[in-house]
Amino acid sequence: MVRVTVPVPGRAYEVTIGPGVLAEAAQHLALPSSASVTFVVSDRTVSDLWFDPLAASLRGAGVSAVLLTVPEGEDAKSLQAYGTLVRQLAGREAHRDDPIVALGGGSVGDLAGFVASTYMRGVPCLQIPTTLTAQVDAAIGGKTAINLPEGKNLVGTFSQPRGVLVDLEVLKTLDDRSYRSGLAEIAKIALTLDLELLAALERDPRPIVERDPAALEDAVTRCVSAKARIVAEDERDAGARLVLNYGHTLGHALERLDAFAGRTHGEAIALGMVFAARLAESRGRATGLVARTARLLSSLGIDASSALPPAEDVLAAIRMDKKYRGGVRWVLLDEPGRPRVVDDVSEDEVRMALEAIGGSRA
């Protein structure tokens, strides 16, 4: 078991990582001493698997757990699901010191985090992410969000949880596509921020692909630590945190396009990373990065070879990015481990790089 501190000034908290920590939740979570009840937000699939051991641990500490189920996947992140949840809390007379526990993937964590940061102007939030993506990325750092019909994550808060429990056991039941989506985020951290992790993945990707517990604990801990450093430096996404967006500018744009419906987030950002490597190489940096990125992703079983939608559609989708204001900022690598935020990438450059990666894979 490992503990990583997220040293956000004034609101530092711990991420506890290890196999089986969920069933020992009461030991590891920083429950307010006044808490006698927790409200566990989860979807049906996850709660069927993991609510009982969580509730048993809490009960052992004299804290009851009330399950509030939300729709599966992105459907949890609607205004309607938000309204339902805050009204359920009010109807059950949840109070300011009653913690909300997010038990699930990124969508559950985003919704429950937003609810916790706004119900009664903020109640304690504990995150128990149950997908690899949420464990290495979404549950760390305090970004909460819901979607609007007009776009994803358009409403939310920056609000740090009180604690995060990362149970590696729960990954055993995760389906392959979802797991590989998480591997793409791990590859992102390796390429941008952790050369030792990159070396380990390139040396032998098999342990992590096969969900070897020791390899997972190491990789997850490295990713959480890297993200913790970045978040502490830039809680509100004004600078350093942009690095975590590596591969995401194109990735998010692809996710906005119908032609990309059905792809995982991991596949979208995998393509985004190959594309960012192409942009960097076309600017005379990071020689060989396209091939190296493609090799890494492939060795992790991640498909980065989807056909791209037409370039003009992609450009239009990029312009809709909520970070867009007159120009898009891209994260490019000078070389692995040396990310740089650039804001002078022209649409022509993007067009050419899209053709290049489209062509190289045809």
Cβ pair 345, 330 in contact under 8 A: yes
Q: Is 357 exposed, middle or buried (0-12, 13-18, 19+ CB in 10 A)?
A: buried
User: How far is it, in rounded angstroms, from Cα 161 to Cα 24?
Assistant: 18
Task: Tell me how far, at minimum, the Cβ of 263 lies from a copy of itself, in Å.
Answer: 24
Q: How far lies 324's CA from each of 148, 268, 277, 316, in Å?
A: 18, 19, 21, 11
- For the chain, give the number of residues: 362
Nearer to a copy of itself, 46 or 94 (CB): 94
Nearer to a copy of itself, 12 or 148 (CB): 148
Nearer to a copy of itself, 326 or 359 (CB): 326
Nearer to a copy of itself, 157 or 299 (CB): 157
User: How far is it, in rounded angstroms, from Cα 201 to Cα 219?
Assistant: 9
Task: Tell me how far, at minimum, the Cβ of 155 lies from a copy of itself, in Å.
Answer: 5
Nearer to a copy of itself, 90 or 291 (CB): 90
Task: Tell me how far, at minimum, the Cβ of 79 lies from a copy of itself, in Å.
Answer: 5
Q: Which of 148, 154, 169, 149 is nearest to 25 (CA)?
A: 169
Task: Tell me how far, at minimum, the Cβ of 324 lies from a copy of itself, in Å.
Answer: 8
- Binding residues vs a copy of itself (CB under 8 A): 34, 79, 83, 86-87, 90-91, 95-97, 114, 117-122, 143-145, 148-151, 154-158, 236-237, 322-325
Distance of CA 241 to the CA centre of its chain: 13
User: How far is it, in rounded angstroms, from Cα 347 to Cα 312?
Assistant: 10
Cβ pair 301, 180 in contact under 8 A: yes
Nearer to a copy of itself, 10 or 284 (CB): 10
Task: Tell me how far, at minimum, the Cβ of 323 lies from a copy of itself, in Å.
Answer: 8
Task: Tell me how far, at minimum, the Cβ of 321 lies from a copy of itself, in Å.
Answer: 10
Q: Is 226 exposed, middle or buried (0-12, 13-18, 19+ CB in 10 A)?
A: buried
Which pair of structure tokens corresponds to residue 214? 């020791």
Cβ pair 142, 102 in contact under 8 A: no
Task: Tell me how far, at minimum, the Cβ of 214 lies from a copy of itself, in Å.
Answer: 37
Nearer to a copy of itself, 292 or 329 (CB): 329
